[in-house]
Amino acid sequence: MSISDPQRNELAQRALAAREHAYAPYSRYAVGAAILGASGEIYEGVNVENAVYPVSMCAERTAVFKAVSHGERDFRAIAVATINGGSPCGSCRQVLSEFGEDIVVIQVNSDGEIVRQMTVKQLLPDAFGPADLEVD
Ligand code: THU
């Protein structure tokens, strides 16, 4: 599954803009994400840290959970904006893979440059998924 250049640029810009709202007082590593649903709707997310560090949430999962809460389950692409165009963590890769291995993941740096584009399948090969629970 591929996305058009305008869609890619829009997602990158939305992730960058969302990053302004990141709540990251502990790591100071602000992350913004924007995920495109099959409906055409875009949902943003940011990392939300906590004084109890492990309960913090990543930007990508915030975006996915927000989208799913609005009834969206089919995703085309997600852009992730960080200062250095960093890669999604393992937990976020797992959550994305639940909804599709062909979702395009676009990594964006704080200058708005797209530094890498991969699919979820490339980022998390051989993921544990819904089919693995069909054991009866
Ligand atoms: N973070 C994300 O939001 N997404 C990722 O994929 C990588 C890490 C956040 C978690 C934490 O708030 C901060 O970045 C540093 O790890």
Read off the pLDDT of residues 36-77 as tens digits, 9 standing for 90 and up: 999 999 999 999 999 999 999 999 999 999 999 999 999 999
Q: Which ligand 1 atom is at minimum distance from the Cα of 89?
A: 6
Distance CA 56, CA 91 (A): 12
Distance CA 126, CA 123 (A): 10
Ligand 1: lining residues by beta carbon, under 6 Å:
24, 27, 29, 31, 47, 49, 56, 58-60, 88-89, 92
34 C-beta neighbours (distance < 10 Å), count: 28
Q: Residue 42 corresponds to which amino acid?
A: I
Burial of 48 (0-12, 13-18, 19+ CB in 10 A): middle
User: Which among 60, 72, 98, 101 is annotated as catalytic?
Assistant: 60
Distance CA 91, CA 96 (A): 9
- Whether 49 is a known active-site residue: answer no
| pLDDT (mean) for 11-30 | 98
Mutation test residue for ligand 1: of 47, 49, 66, 82, the one with most atoms within 8 Å of CB: 47
Distance CA 11, CA 67 (A): 14
How far from 46 is each of 19, 99, 131, CA to CA, in Å?
6, 19, 30
Q: What is the value of pTM for the model shown?
A: 0.97
Distance CA 106, CA 117 (A): 5
**How far is ligand 1, taken at its centre, from the CA of residue 45, in Å?**
12
- The per-residue pLDDT for range 70-123, each reduced to its tens digit, is 999 999 999 999 999 999 999 999 999 999 999 999 999 999 999 999 999 999
